[in-house]
Structure 1
């Protein structure tokens, strides 16, 4: 008998689906307002929120986070000057950004075998959960969100809400483009790079040099591989913003693919980014679009979701093959693992899978986030927890910045 999803599973699936919508809107709103640092941080953190275990507390955290996100978006769209908020409101949005980091840490700790889980004892996890709920409750009070008015139980309602917000966003972008902010962009304008260059980036200089040289010298096809948390996405973003890359490719398109499970869904994401109207299968329209635009660089980020399952792998490889048949289209993908998809003539020499950072690079990232550490011995102990993986360094540094080095070390002492 087929598995009947529980209420909790339905809530989780609906909320995850809506997070994809709200993240897309956040990215477009951020671009339209000239790269707002707060919106960018919220968007990037939202992309990392996940709850693979159908625990009620995780679902509740995601639902409440989702409600606050929609409210923040509406505040921007309804403001007479959406690019400029009063300092008090900016402060509250900044506090909510810190809350999303806490939630991310808690959700990560729920995954079996996760290193972050080993930092917490059971009672400390409960304290972190309590703090997350308290911070979300404060945010809901500040942003005047009434309990019971959220639409997370009905995916069609969430889609309608997202569509309405998207229409408002289009109107706002149009008004901004007629005024002083001529740099505002969104997915309606095809030649737009929607990624953002990470402000913190250390330790991948040789890989970056290799990628930029390949992109500059030929119509390259590059796969950035490595284990989870190695900084593949950050490396791709820095490469796409490099001056030499920008000089060669007029059209640079960065497409996050972690939500796609098939080649058709990847094509749909690409189509959304270049402004195509939705269809059952956008593969041909996408190919036609790139065939008609010269000097293009397409980046497909986090492709492993669709490529790893054997039943969908063939379709993904066929799509990549068709894309690389377009002679003037450069392609770069990021993907977890060490195996490159077949049917593509990847540019040689291959970029080896990313390895952990050097000690010096890990320390540079750490000190870019926090200075709450005073002894070399303490820093060495902290970095031992991360194995010099960029994501782990980032998470631990934020944890140290929030709670203090002594508190974090006491957990593992």
Structure 2
């Protein structure tokens, strides 16, 4: 009798589907904007998708890492889409993307180690994998915080531009009304004579 899928199995399957859709979006960004720096992220994401199908150990930890990586990928894609410079980002942002690429490679290493393996080998690598897991979580959190803040700043800039445009419209309306009132009072005064 086949084993019944667990909630963690279902969530791994769901995040894999979400990652695949995000990978497709990332592929579009790479192809459209010709950004070679994202190809490593794209390739690693594709490899992670294949590995996610065969995870045997620490499924919950793998799921969490994949979910967090997915959130950061969405934020990175959003930055490129919202970029008004044709996909060129500030050096600081590119540095964080490079850091995320390294983190994604660490996640790949962790997930790859969670495939089937001997219990003795797993036992001896337990400390190493625990340290790698902690590093991945911390680095993902840093990346998520940075890209979330960057996205918020971009949204604030867009709101400021919108408010300035609306303010200019209001100023123009007031000027038009002032000119109309001036013309109206001049014509009223000329009739009164």
Q: Is the Cα–Cα contact under 8 Å of residues 30 and 40 in structure 1 kept in the other structure? A: yes
Range that drifts further, 104-113 or 89-98: 104-113
Q: Over aligned residues, Cα RMSD in angstroms?
A: 2.1
Aligned counterpart for 2:137 among listed residues 133, 138, 156: 133
**CA spacing shift, 1:57–1:28, aligned 2, 3 Å:** same
CA distance in 2, matches of 1:2, 1:103: 29
Residue 91 of structure 2 is aligned to residue 92 of structure 1? no
Which has the greater radius of gyration?
2
TM-score normalised by length of structure 2:
0.67
Secondary structure at the residue paired with 1:70?
Answer: helix
Which of 68, 72, 79 pairs up with 1:68?
Answer: 72
The within-5 A match list for 1:14-29 is: 14-29=14-29
Which has the larger helix fraction? 2
TM-score (norm 1): 0.32
1:112 and 1:13 mapped to 2: Cα distance? 18
Runs (5+) with no aligned partner, structure 1: 146-413
What does the per-residue CA deviation read over 1:157-190, in whole Å, with 9 as the maximum and x for residues that have no partner? Answer: xxxxxxxxxxxxxxxxxxxxxxxxxxxxxxxxxx
CA–CA distance in structure 1, aligned partners of residues 78 and 33 of structure 2: 14
Number of residue pairs matched? 141
**CA displacement at 1:21 relative to structure 2:** 1.0
Cα 1:112–1:2 change in 2 (3 A) is closer
Q: Which has the higher contact order (CA 8 A, sep 6+)?
A: 2
Task: Determine the C-alpha separation between the residues in 2 that align with 1:16 and 1:80.
Answer: 31
Q: Which secondary structure does the structure 1 equivalent of 2:5 belong to?
A: coil
CA distance in 2, matches of 1:144, 1:83: 18
Partner of 2:13: 13
Once superposed, which parts of structure 1, at least 4 consecutive aligned residues long, lie more than 4 Å away? 1-4
Q: Which runs of 5+ in 2 are unaligned?
A: 150-193
